[in-house]
Amino acid sequence: MHELQSLLGEYDCARGYTNELWRDLTPDEVVWRPREDFSAIGWHLGHQAHVAHFMIRNLTAAEPSPDPELDGLMDSANPEKFRGALPTVERLTAFREAVAKRVHARIGDIAAGKVGAPTQMTIVATHLLTALINHEYQHDQRIGEVRAEHFGHTLPADPDSDHVRRIDGYHAWARSCHDWMT
């Protein structure tokens, strides 16, 4: 139970870092694309939440999407040119917040043993959260590159976590570098 709560804190840390990368950008900067077949910062933001929703839904609880209209748009299996227009910053923010609340609620239920097969679900939830944290940081890399290289904004300080390291140039969560070598 303690490990899941700790991982939820790391998930919040990763999401907080993402927010530092984009919350001060203008709506035009959030939807701007450097090239035609290039994803905007706004797509990365929605995609991070979309993946979190689908992982929770498919691995722990069959739940409806908090915004079904965004599902196809934020799915990386759909080529950029077929995704459609990005939603407003307000809608992206609401989507990200709704998904985060669902992640917390479902992982909280697992941590409290309020699920069938609680030991098995704890194992699933531990790996699920690790994947969500690292997926968040994976897309933060691109958001940060566009923020700095194209808009000239400074990058925030690295995430405040004893477990976040740079691996292959990306922030990644791991208890130690040894975790990635075994």
Is 179's pLDDT higher than 70?
no
Range 2-181: architecture per CATH: Up-down Bundle (1.20)
Domain boundaries, the chain: 2-181
Confidence class of residue 34 from pLDDT cuts 50, 70 and 90?
A: confident
Contacts of 17-23 with CB under 8 Å at 24 or more apart are 17/136, 17/137, 17/140, 17/156, 17/159, 17/171, 18/45, 18/48, 18/136, 18/139, 18/140, 18/143, 20/156, 21/140, 21/143, 21/144, 21/147, 21/155, 21/156, 22/143, 22/147
Q: What confidence score (pLDDT) does residue 1 get? A: 62
Q: What is the pTM of this model?
A: 0.92
Is 37's pLDDT higher than 90?
no
Please indicate whether residue 98 or residue 36 has the higher confidence score (pLDDT): 98
Q: What confidence score (pLDDT) does residue 165 get? A: 87
Q: What are phi and psi of 164, to 5 degrees?
A: -95, 130
Tens digits of residue pLDDT in 81-104: 778 889 999 999 999 999 999 999
Tens digits of residue pLDDT in 115-145: 999 999 999 999 999 999 999 999 999 999 9
